[in-house]
Chains A and B, each alone.
Chain A
Amino acid sequence: MKILALVLAVVFILFAITAATGICSAVPALGFDGTHHIKHAILYAVLAVLSGLWYRFQANAA
């Protein structure tokens, strides 16, 4: 679970950067369609923070 939390955190950070910069507008299924990208970036950044906290909880519980 610790690894999963870390992987999710990294993936969501990448998604947040991608959504914020609009460098990947060819993946509309993930919301990268060039519209409302800031909202999506905020969402992915929040999910990245939550995944990071999950990783921290897992690490401290071990």
Chain B
Amino acid sequence: MGRNRSAVTFVQAIVLAILQGVSELFPVSSLGHTILIPALLGWHNIDRADPSFLAFVVVLHLGTAIALIVFYRDDWVKLGRAFVASVVRGKLSDDVDERVAWLLIVGTVPVGILGLLFKEKVSILFGTVAPAAIFLMINGLVMFAGDWLRRRQHAAPEAAYKRIEQLTYPQSIGVGFGQALALLPGISRSGASIVVGLLCGLDMASAARYSFLLATPVIFAAAALAIPELWAPGAHVVAMQAIVGAVLAGFFAYLSVAFLTKYFKNHDLRAFGWYCLLFGALCLILAKVGVIS
């Protein structure tokens, strides 16, 4: 019964995979879009709480995480070596990679704790169209705030910008808390952490890079911890759709991060802010008049 109702069709699998790969890294909230787009398209066969759909989402996240690891493979090798060296030595040094590795670990703690303890409660409370649309609009306002900060920083001399390794551990925890806001469907993980990174004094490109690096272990760990969902009672992931979904999600995630790392060298967050505001408002109006639910 559940299998017939919630099995993702091939077309849905392709659309959801592309949506996941792109919106996970663009500052527009993947979680919000996986609620709003199926509602807009009238995909009533998709039950977000169904084991089959959850298992499919796990596969998409694995594809996204692998793409991020591949894109930043050189960084991860250097960071991994520096981390192991510090553990073996039992002492922190002044090495830049070691510093960044520990900043990433410390920054991952908030979202790890908050995610595991509150993710399900939050998704039950806010996992419908109207709250997702409202949070998407709030996300748009956050983007404008981030852009205002960026422009204010442009007035300052170049020396005012920090490099990633110059962040303090409390600041990295702050960026991690920003990332944890993405538990709310509609709030973007990368958007919130980029804005907090800007608040901490990073320039746009560094804030984006730190955000993507920080997102990688979280997305990967969340997907890895959810792998048992693939064998959960009632989970029936169609192999072909899962494979195509993972590959497409990974491919579009790779393209997205490649595009965004270049984009943020010369552009700001305002385009994403306008998109979130307008799309959120449209979905909210449609939900209020009963067109989507």
Contact = CB atoms under 8 A, between A and B. Distances in A.
Given A31-B117, A53-B87, A61 B112 contact: no
Contacts, number: 28
Nearest to B87: A53
A50 B90 contact: no
A31 B116 contact: yes
A39 B116 contact: yes
A4 interface: no
A58 to B, nearest CB: 10
Given A39-B116, A39-B225, A40-B116, A56 B90 contact: yes
B91 interface: yes
B225 A42 contact: yes
Contact of B109 (A31, A36, A50, A60): A50
B105 interface: yes
Interface string A1-38: 00000000000000000000000000000110000100
A47 B109 contact: yes
Main secondary structure of the interface of B (DSSP, over half): helix
A39 B87 CA distance: 24
B116 A43 contact: yes
A56 B44 CA distance: 54
A34 to B, nearest CB: 13
Contacts of B225: 39, 42
A36 B118 CA distance: 12
B113 interface: yes
B271 interface: no
Interface residues of A, number: 15
Nearest to B117: A31
B90 A43 contact: no
Interface size class of B (residues with CB under 8 A): 10 to 19
Interface of A: 30-31, 36, 39-40, 42-43, 46-47, 50, 53, 56-57, 60-61
Interface of B: 86-87, 90-92, 105, 109, 112-113, 116-117, 225
A61 B116 contact: no
Nearest to A30: B117
Given A31-B117, A60-B90, A60-B91, 12 more contacts: A30-B117, A31-B116, A36-B116, A39-B225, A43-B113, A43-B116, A47-B112, A50-B105, A50-B109, A53-B87, A57-B90, A61-B92
B112 A43 contact: yes
B254 to A, nearest CB: 28
Contacts of B109: 47, 50
Contacts of B91: 57, 60-61
A57 B105 CA distance: 15
25 contacts: A30-B117, A31-B116, A36-B116, A39-B116, A40-B116, A40-B117, A42-B225, A43-B112, A43-B113, A43-B116, A46-B112, A47-B109, A47-B112, A47-B113, A50-B105, A50-B109, A53-B87, A57-B86, A57-B90, A57-B91, A57-B92, A60-B90, A60-B91, A61-B91, A61-B92
